[in-house]
Amino acid sequence: MFISDAQETIVLVYGSVISKLKQWNSSDVSTVKEDVMQFYEQFKSAFEQFLLNAKERFEEFYGGEFTVAGHLEHRKEQATWLISTGKDLVVGHLQHRKEQVTWLLSNAKSFDTSAFCEYLSSLTNWSPFEIESWWMEIKAYWTEYKYEQMISKEYLYWAYSIWQSTWASLFRLNCAVFLAPGASQKTQPAKPLILYDCEGSSYCKMVRETACVLGLDVVFKPCPKKGTVFCKELEERAGKVDLPYLVDENKEVEMGGYKAIETHLFETYGANVQSGFKLNKMLPFRLMHGPLYFTIFISSFIRSTIGYGRKALPTSTRPQKALTLWGNEHSPFVTIVRELLCSFEIPYVMKNTPIGCTWKREEFRRKHSHLLSQGRNMVPHVIQIPLLIDPNTDTTMVESRAICKYLWDTYGEAEAEKQSEDLSQSSNKAA
């Protein structure tokens, strides 16, 4: 009931805002301004009523007290900004609303259009017929947009990768999702650990899982096949490229071999973690790093059929500073980002944030809660991963699909150029 109330109000307000914006797109700025003010007055009480209802429902459902945030104020500021910045921006704003409306449409399948039009008509001076025709127009527009988005090659690649990566994680029983009982902030290394790693390597994955359950931050230096950056560095350092390879400046040691690295990490940073097979959150990890360890090969094989993270890809630029990625080992959304970082040989600090790693989750929320949806913000310690920070371009972003696109656009242009060169060469030959 609450959901349908909420949906109705959101659809009502956004539907009419958007239809008005479409109309304003061809009007002059002063008419828009008058309209916005009138519109705002009309909806003010409906909005306020809705927020009060929501507050009551939330308090009833979750207990405790909720404060109504300044959503209305925020909308007012947006409208004022929009008007002051000129008519052209209305178009930009429409673009921005696209995704919201796409979501609304997919969530409002059983939405009763005629009741909506009647309701809107009773609140405004527009006739139900007029409203209905706007609604149909908007719906057709957004549905077409959604369809375009859905069939794009890039979307299909993303969706398929997530689906496949989810299976790869399930084969490992999502064993690095929880912080190991006993691991704590007190035992974290002062200087971050450095790992020469390749995303597609099974043995490297074993080490990544270990670092994740211990909540350790790791600087990754990716060494994909045919890599030219860190493979060379590792060869100079260790005499050969044998992955994984750990450098721990805190203890002034460095070593290869996944078993040796795991033992070092547990002994140094997981001394309080229970050993043996106990029925707790560590059980999947103990099984996967004990009798069922062979599933790592199945997991890697699943992902080897498609995707990056094995071979190096040509890049357009090299980052000056290391990037930062918040995530955990088993999130399929994080995996596809790591795969690209690996293939582009981009160094990055992995902020491993398994469930239960409260100190880091609190740090995340202190710094980035403005990037979380209202729903996530309401639940203590919930965050959104992956979150990528690129100090080279001053970018902080969430959403795996957008992050992958960003990495391609920023660092992978050479691939696109090469492909178009290949294409033009082959078409020249054909001619």
Ligand X SMILES: N[C@@H](CCC(=O)N[C@@H](CS)C(=O)NCC(=O)O)C(=O)O
In the complex, least distance from residue 211 CB atom to ligand X, rounded to whole angstroms: 17
Residue with smaller CB distance to ligand X, 116 or 158 = 158
Chain centre distance of CA 366:
18
In the complex, least distance from residue 336 CB atom to ligand X, rounded to whole angstroms: 9
Residue with smaller CB distance to ligand X, 260 or 355 = 355
Residue with smaller CB distance to ligand X, 99 or 235 = 99
Residue with smaller CB distance to ligand X, 368 or 401 = 401
Sheet holding 323-327, edge to edge: 253-256, 245-248, 193-197, 217-222, 348-352, 323-327, 387-390, 395-398
Give the amino acid at 360: K
Residue with smaller CB distance to ligand X, 159 or 306 = 159
In the complex, least distance from residue 382 CB atom to ligand X, rounded to whole angstroms: 4
Q: Write a three-state SS string for 107-156.
A: HCCCCCHHHHHHHHHHHCCCCHHHHHHHHHHHHHHHHHHHHHHHHCHHHH
> Collapsing DSSP states into helix, strand and coil, what is residue 365?
helix
In the complex, least distance from residue 115 CB atom to ligand X, rounded to whole angstroms: 32
In the complex, least distance from residue 331 CB atom to ligand X, rounded to whole angstroms: 4
> For binding to ligand X (CB under 6 A), which residues are involved?
331, 333, 355, 382-386, 399-401
Residue with smaller CB distance to ligand X, 333 or 344 = 333
- Residue 36 pairs in a beta bridge with none
- Phi/psi for 289 (5° steps) reads -105, 10
Torsion sign (Cα): 240, 249, 327, 286: positive
Give the amino acid at 401: R
In the complex, least distance from residue 204 CB atom to ligand X, rounded to whole angstroms: 20
